[in-house]
A = this chain, B = another copy of it.
Amino acid sequence: MTTSTQVQLVSRPKGWPTPEDFRTVQVELPELGAGEVRVRNEFVSVDPYMRGRMSDAKSYVAPYALGETMTGGAVGRVTESTAEALPVGTLVLHGLGWRDVAQGPADQFRQVAEIPGAPSSVHLGILGMIGLTAYVGLTEIAHLQAGETVFVSGAAGAVGTAVGQIARLLGAGRVVGSAGSAEKVDLLTSRYGYDAAVNYKDAPIREQLPAIVPDGVDVFFDNVGGDHLEAAIDVFNTNGRAALCGAISGYNDVERPAGPNNLWHLVSKKLTLRGFIVGDHAHVAAEFGEKMAGWFAEGKVVFDETVVDGIENSVEAFLTMMRGGNTGKMVVRV
């Protein structure tokens, strides 16, 4: 009998989630039915959007069910199979989340490529949903043009490190970002190709941003929300566009903070603010996959991961990520 260790949500967090909102359970897995696979996960993803699903507010995705295992991106290897298309040993991506062993109908699993010299977790990161999110935001949402200036908030996070590099590869003129520590700020310019970066904990971002964008900002890729959006609106050039990917600064707020006090610039500078969800742009995945595979193979893209070991530490990994304790993609190694 195979057992699977799984992490379940048991109560809806008010404000910051706590370990008590979750439980770890052992589930006995049945024998495989016809056309099914059993997968030993290698890496499980923890992502900011999951905080939204822990609440039961109306949103673009259904809330997580209480008492059920947390779903989300994961990558693993087939260990048992009754499905011809996915033989034992196949590397697969799936959405079954926080568990060490996953199993189910083969159509819930998608084969992904083995990437020489890279861990399979890249399929949860720069080669997967994270990279696609960055690409969609810059192209489909913000319509980045060559030569333009891009400002990225939360630039040292998983999406942010991808945005800076992809913006550069797409021809951006100047790329600047914000992050929450001196170390991260250094990485942005030394490793991720940012032209300049600031630590938003040093002083209000609104005070620091103008100095690093002397010619204003054309595209703002927002992972943070709140004061970062306000700062961007201040320095936007006419016809500036914001791709709003996340607002991690407010995800755990119980009180709703006041919004930017400069929204009149939306009219005066003819700005566009647009929220998006990568899932709506699956039609771009093929185009992205081809370009990114090329860039990756040519060594034009770097990535970092912050790895936490052990499926039972998924909650800790999630909370650390929410507090900004990661550089690059946060993953749980099973």
Contacts and interface: CB of A to CB of B under 8 A. Distances in A.
A59 to B, nearest CB: 5
From A238, A251, A264, residue with most partner B Cβ within 10 Å = A264
Contacts of A244: 266-267
A204 interface: no
Given A57-B268, A225-B263, A273-B274, 15 more contacts: A52-B268, A59-B268, A60-B268, A225-B267, A244-B267, A246-B267, A247-B266, A258-B259, A259-B262, A259-B263, A266-B274, A267-B277, A270-B277, A271-B274, A272-B275
Given A259-B260, A264-B250, A238 B60 contact: yes
A229 interface: yes
Report whether over half of chain A's contact residues are helix, strand or loop; otherwise say mixed: loop
A280 interface: yes
A188 interface: no
Contacts of A264: 225, 247, 250-251, 256
Contacts of A260: 259, 263
Nearest to A251: B264
Q: How many of chain A's residues touch chain B, expressed as a range?
A: 35 or more
A275 to B, nearest CB: 4
Given A59-B268, A267-B247, A262 B273 contact: no
A60 B270 CA distance: 8
Contacts of A275: 265-272
A48 to B, nearest CB: 10
Interface in A255-305: 256-277, 280
A257 B262 CA distance: 8
A247 B270 CA distance: 13
